[in-house]
Amino acid sequence: MAILSFPLQAEELGANPASDAVARSIVEKADKVRFPAEGFQVDVVINSYRADKEIDFHKYRVLSKGNENTVVMVTEPASERGQIILMKGRDLWVFMPEVSQPVRISLAQRLTGQVANGDLARANFSGDYNPKVVGTEKIGNETYQVLELVAVDRSVTYQRVMYWVNEKSGWPLKAEFYSLSNRLLKKCSYENFQTLAGRVRPTRLVMEDALKAGEKSVLEYSEMRLRELPDKIFTKEYLKKLD
What pLDDT is recorded for position 124? 85
Please, which residues have CB within 8 angstroms of residue 145's CB and are 6 or more apart in sequence? 26, 133, 136, 164, 165, 166, 167
Model pLDDT for residues 210-227, shown as the tens digit of each residue: 999 999 999 999 999 999
What pLDDT is recorded for position 25? 96
Phi-psi category of 33—alpha, beta or left, where left has phi over 0 and alpha has psi -120 to 50? alpha
pLDDT band at 18 (very low <50, low <70, confident <90, very high): low
SS3 62: strand
C-alpha triplet 151, 233, 119: angle, nearest 5°: 30
Where helices occur in the chain by DSSP H, the ranges are 10-13, 17-34, 117-121
Provide long-range contacts, Cβ within 8 A and 24+ apart, for 73-82.
73/242, 75/43
- What proportion of the chain, given as a percentage, has pLDDT over 70? 92
Mean pLDDT, to the nearest integer, of 228-243?
Answer: 85
What type of residue is 189?
S
- What proportion of the chain, given as a percentage, has pLDDT over 90? 77
Residue 172: cis peptide before it, omega within 30 degrees of 0: no
What pLDDT is recorded for position 30? 97
Using the predicted structure, report yes or no on whether residue 5 has a pLDDT greater than 90. no
Quote the CA–CA distance of 43 and 135 in Å, as a whole number.
35
